A and B are shown apart, each in its own frame.
Chain A
Amino acid sequence: MLWLLFFLVTAIHAELCQPGAENAFKVRLSIRTALGDKAYAWDTNEEYLFKAMVAFSMRKVPNREATEISHVLLCNVTQRVSFWFVVTDPSKNHTLPAVEVQLAIRMNRNRINNAFSLNDQTLEFLKIPSTLAPPTDPSVPIWIIIFGVIFCIVIVAITLLILSGIRQRRRKNKEPSEVDDAEDKCENMITIENGIPCDPLDMKGGHINDAFMTEDERLTPL
């Protein structure tokens, strides 16, 4: 009698959890892709943890606080590491509606991922879309900050260039009058060497050396 009951229960279980069954979900794990050398092997203990996480997620749903680990059924585990699971109600005759399971998994996706050191791409629940992380926008976009820095530097440089240009032009306007003063001073200056005043080099004109006779004067005209 007990054997019959056992076979009945497993048969019902087998019916409840089948690939493509009503309210069943396929899960796919890519452990080696995610962890590389640190990949762990998928065995019954990991399956137990998975069942525990699903049961934990279901308990968070109102009216389903009594979900136990034994209510979660796994089947068709492949070498890919993919399998199907269903969640049954306490009577173990019916499966819980897919909508509730979906909601529960979506709300606790992060916790489930962390339990297995995986992420949304390596622990896939087919037919349960994951909520994407919101874009991490800082309050002030980075590009504005750098733009501000560059623009300020450029404006400061332009101002400096314009100011130095104005100063240069003012200096050039003052220079002609300064140059005249210097020339007057030069004329009044007498170089003194060894106490004897030297004649200043006269830049403007030349002295005529009367002792030098030009070519044509030497030769008497015919």
Chain B
Amino acid sequence: MSLSQEQVKKIAHLARLNVREEDLDTYARTLSDILDFVEQMEGVDTEGVEPMAHPLELSQRLRADAPTEPDRRAHFQRIAPAVEDGLYLVPRVIE
């Protein structure tokens, strides 16, 4: 498995990571090495094996559908990069 710089760019975009041009080569090499390494999995017979998502196979706990969280918006927004009138500010999305 060898990833091209173009593929790395595409993956980086999917992951919303701005990768600098000069780093593409290193990422292409190291990501390819990792994918080569994990390819060992291919040789294992997993016919009929149920995928294991959770070590203890517990079922998800449920709770009553009632509000449990107090309103802490102002507290949480104190650490936001940009807020105004209780809203998080981002660059204009709709012209």
The answer on A and B forming one complex is no
Q: What residues of chain A have their CB less than 8 Å away from a CB belonging to chain B?
A: none
